[in-house]
Chains A and B, each alone.
Chain A
Amino acid sequence: MQLGTMAWRTLMRNKRRSVITAFSVGFGVLLSVTFTASGDYAYTNMINTSAVMGLGHLSVEHPDFRDTPTLDKRLVDAEAVQQRVLQISGVTGALVRIMGQAMFASGAKSVGGAFIAIDPAQETPAHNIFLRTLIEGQCFSAGEDRGVVVGAKMAEKLNLRLGKKLIFTMTDKNGELVSELGRVSGIFRTGDDSVDGGVVLLPLDLVRKALGYEPTAASLVAIFLEDHRAAKTIQGDLAQLWSRSKEITVLTWQESQADLAGLIAVDQLFNYLLQFLVGLVIAAGIMNTLLMSVMERQREFGIMMALGMMPGQVVRLVLLESCWLGILGLALGVVITTPWFLYMTRIGLDFSGQIGTDYSAGGVLIDPVMKFRLYRESAMWIAWAVFFLTIVAAIFPAFKAGRMTPVENLKQG
């Protein structure tokens, strides 16, 4: 007779109580999956949305560009960097871009804003949210050297329509003001007014020429990854690759978009705290059940000790009962969570009625449909956390069972 089998049978002696306790563990799994999977989905969505707004999951740039983003700081051979990056596994795209500040003027008015100079031959909607959200016209083509794409809000402010002229003024690599003329080829609407009123897409070659850049120069190469969680690893690989160059640095999305990273970190912290508190409540329930079970069986423990069972074996027996309770709870948790998880993965809950479709946080648009996505490590983490809490909850009852002397136990019952 193994202790594990004995523990299982003991647990099944009071089936109703064990199943009710296991259900509370299962409910803990449901709550934990809900918190974690909604977080995994929302954070991934925010990170990926943020990436396609310009900087990618990783950005290769001049080391001083982040702190003082003037246009004299550039990658002289950005195209070579791009080609090298594309050879790395896990990279789905690498795009050469120039990003900076400019003054935009039409015949009616002028406003300040940001520009992203792109190569239309390489950009795709998958890596560029502005191309994905075009509401009028289209992106300028490779041969169209004076096309510009503006946000709907800016078009409204400057009274722009398709084909209208837009003058943009910026500081070149030598610190001189330079101006160029473009014509509106497309208008986008992301839903975020600050973005729609402040961002303009410009042709890369035109901006290079205006800034006095070399033909392969750019301010950054935006890198897109299959999985944003690989950013740190790939950053390490790339940093090693260019360890000798003082002109190149690689930033992860956490470094280049510190506001977003901070927002996610704080939200995650509250999420974990909430889960911990829920876990504590459930653990208290498990402890209560096991304590009752131990108190009811004191005489039984006394008999086992009289027969030669070591105090440590008694402790182990109660801990094993708790292990079984944890396993049973996890299994029930999977059963009750699966339909909810599948619904939330496929359909989700639409909160657009409550928060609208243009809600943004950390400079990133938030998807109003709450959905689930659970990474394998998150699922493993939940399983271990639930199991760990179940064991922790059993420690006091187990030691109580093992601490008493046989004769004390035998006097009970």
Chain B
Amino acid sequence: MNNTPLVQLENVSRIYQQGKLQVAAVTDFSLEVQCGEFSVLCGPSGSGKTTILNLIGALDEPSQGRVLLEGRDLAQLGRSDLARLRRDRIGFVFQSYNLNPVLTACENAEFVLALQNIPHAQRRQRVMAVLAEVGMAELAERRPDELSGGQQQRVAIARAIVSRPAIVLADEPTANVDSATAAAILELMERLNHEQGVTFLFSTHDQRVMDRAHRLIHLRDGRLERDEVRG
């Protein structure tokens, strides 16, 4: 059995240059995430949650330390390999949905599959199944501007899970939706985690999300404050 953690961050620091100033977004941070987790990075604004998600998601590079995904050191991969890794192994859910406005819900959801060159008929079938899963099959042909915030976030979740990634990184997924929609979205993610074993890592300061998490990784000023695993 392979015991390699899905995600490993080893003494990671990320320092940004802002004019003449150096700003440390994350300092000497280490973390391991196992398959099937439903974990939350929590902390106040500016605590480094999004930076950590960006580092795990191969969107950004650490200034120091190593980030490994399924045992692969991301620093060893080129731009194209990183793009392939994001396409095949990582799903993203963003705070403001970020659906492509010129694509329908269905086309947005199948975007990653199209990048993977999966034949049209096959990807349509998979996308429709996932859209049904998130309750959006009826609205598959609508464009984002014809959908509510909650509906757009459901499509974004469908887009994130349709390629069956190793991990879904969700940056403040409930920040822009009302309570009822937030609850529905969280239920959906929980179900996907429970039934399909999809690994989720959230960044949030929404108490409703934290309440449902199996593990809370508390951050403060770019450092690990507390790692709390729940039953």
Tell me if B115 and A309 are in contact (CB < 8 A).
yes
Tell me if B86 and A307 are in contact (CB < 8 A).
yes
Question: Given the interface contacts A311-B79, A405-B60, does A6 sit within 8 Å of B102 by beta carbon?
Answer: yes
- Chain B nearest Cβ from A79, distance in angstroms: 71
Q: Say yes or no: is B112 at the interface (Cβ < 8 Å to chain A).
A: yes
User: Within 8 Å CB of B87, what residues of A?
Assistant: 307-309
Tell me if B115 and A303 are in contact (CB < 8 A).
no
Cβ 8 A contact of A406, one of B59, B84, B88, B107: B59
Tell me which residues from 306 to 354 in chain A have a Cβ below 8 Å from any Cβ of chain B.
Answer: 306-313
User: Within 8 Å CB of B54, what residues of A?
Assistant: 407, 410
What is the CA–CA distance of A407 and B92 in the complex, to the nearest angstrom? 13
Tell me if B59 and A13 are in contact (CB < 8 A).
no
User: Within 8 Å CB of B111, what residues of A?
Assistant: 1, 304, 307
Question: Given the interface contacts A305-B83, A307-B112, does A6 sit within 8 Å of B59 by beta carbon?
Answer: no
- Chain B nearest Cβ from A316, distance in angstroms: 12
What is the CA–CA distance of A410 and B116 in the complex, to the nearest angstrom? 22
From A13, which residue of chain B is reached at the shortest CB distance?
Answer: B102
Residues of A in contact, count (CB < 8 Å): 24
Tell me which residues from 79 to 112 in chain B have a Cβ below 8 Å from any Cβ of chain A.
Answer: 79-80, 83-84, 86-88, 92, 94, 98, 100-103, 107, 110-112
Cβ 8 A contact of A1, one of B88, B94, B103: B103
User: Within 8 Å CB of A410, what residues of B?
Assistant: 54, 59
What is the CA–CA distance of A306 and B115 in the complex, to the nearest angstrom? 12
- Chain A nearest Cβ from B115, distance in angstroms: 5
What is the CA–CA distance of A182 and B175 in the complex, to the nearest angstrom? 107
Q: Say yes or no: is B159 at the interface (Cβ < 8 Å to chain A).
A: yes
Cβ 8 A contact of B83, one of A1, A2, A9, A308: A308
From A11, which residue of chain B is reached at the shortest CB distance?
Answer: B102
Tell me if A310 and B83 are in contact (CB < 8 A).
yes
What is the CA–CA distance of A39 and B133 in the complex, to the nearest angstrom? 66
Tell me which residues from 249 to 285 in chain A have a Cβ below 8 Å from any Cβ of chain B.
Answer: none
From A7, which residue of chain B is reached at the shortest CB distance?
Answer: B102
User: Within 8 Å CB of A312, what residues of B?
Assistant: 80
Q: Say yes or no: is B222 at the interface (Cβ < 8 Å to chain A).
A: no
What is the CA–CA distance of A307 and B165 in the complex, to the nearest angstrom? 11
Cβ 8 A contact of A10, one of B60, B79, B102, B115: B102
What is the CA–CA distance of A226 and B92 in the complex, to the nearest angstrom? 67
Question: Given the interface contacts A1-B107, A407-B60, does A308 sit within 8 Å of B115 by beta carbon?
Answer: yes
From B106, which residue of chain A is reached at the shortest CB distance?
Answer: A1
Tell me if A303 and B100 are in contact (CB < 8 A).
yes
What is the CA–CA distance of A313 and B87 in the complex, to the nearest angstrom? 13
Tell me if A303 and B94 are in contact (CB < 8 A).
yes
Tell me if A309 and B94 are in contact (CB < 8 A).
no
Q: Say yes or no: is A300 at the interface (Cβ < 8 Å to chain B).
A: yes
Q: Which of B83, B87, B103, B111 has the most CB of A within 10 A?
A: B83
Residues of B in contact, count (CB < 8 Å): 26
Tell me if A6 and B103 are in contact (CB < 8 A).
yes
Tell me if B80 and A308 are in contact (CB < 8 A).
no
Q: Say yes or no: is B150 at the interface (Cβ < 8 Å to chain A).
A: no
Tell me which residues from 399 to 413 in chain A have a Cβ below 8 Å from any Cβ of chain B.
Answer: 405-407, 410
Cβ 8 A contact of B115, one of A307, A311, A405, A407: A307
- Chain B nearest Cβ from A310, distance in angstroms: 5
Q: Which of A6, A12, A407 has the most CB of B within 10 A?
A: A407
User: Within 8 Å CB of B57, what residues of A?
Assistant: 306
Q: Say yes or no: is A161 at the interface (Cβ < 8 Å to chain B).
A: no
User: Within 8 Å CB of B114, what residues of A?
Assistant: 1-2
Tell me if A309 and B100 are in contact (CB < 8 A).
no
What is the CA–CA distance of A307 and B160 in the complex, to the nearest angstrom? 8
What is the CA–CA distance of A34 and B200 in the complex, to the nearest angstrom? 63
User: Within 8 Å CB of B112, what residues of A?
Assistant: 307-308
Cβ 8 A contact of B100, one of A300, A311, A407: A300
Q: Say yes or no: is A299 at the interface (Cβ < 8 Å to chain B).
A: yes
What is the CA–CA distance of A304 and B87 in the complex, to the nearest angstrom? 10
Tell me if A311 and B86 are in contact (CB < 8 A).
no
What is the CA–CA distance of A13 and B103 in the complex, to the nearest angstrom? 11
Question: Given the interface contacts A6-B102, A6-B103, A306-B57, does A313 sit within 8 Å of B94 by beta carbon?
Answer: no
User: Within 8 Å CB of A304, what residues of B?
Assistant: 100, 111
User: Within 8 Å CB of A311, what residues of B?
Assistant: 79-80, 83
What is the CA–CA distance of A307 and B110 in the complex, to the nearest angstrom? 11
Cβ 8 A contact of B59, one of A2, A12, A306: A306
User: Within 8 Å CB of B92, what residues of A?
Assistant: 303, 306-307
- B residues contacting A by CB (< 8 A) are 54, 57, 59-60, 79-80, 83-84, 86-88, 92, 94, 98, 100-103, 107, 110-112, 114-116, 159
30 contacts between A and B (CB under 8 A): A1-B103, A1-B110, A6-B100, A6-B103, A10-B102, A299-B98, A300-B100, A303-B92, A303-B94, A303-B98, A303-B100, A305-B83, A306-B57, A306-B92, A307-B86, A307-B115, A308-B84, A308-B86, A308-B87, A308-B112, A308-B115, A309-B115, A310-B80, A310-B84, A311-B79, A311-B80, A311-B83, A313-B115, A406-B60, A410-B59
Apart from the given pairs A304-B100, A308-B84, A406-B59, 16 other A-B contacts in the complex at a CB distance below 8 Å? A1-B107, A1-B111, A6-B100, A13-B101, A300-B98, A300-B100, A303-B100, A304-B111, A305-B86, A308-B86, A308-B87, A310-B79, A310-B84, A311-B79, A311-B80, A407-B59
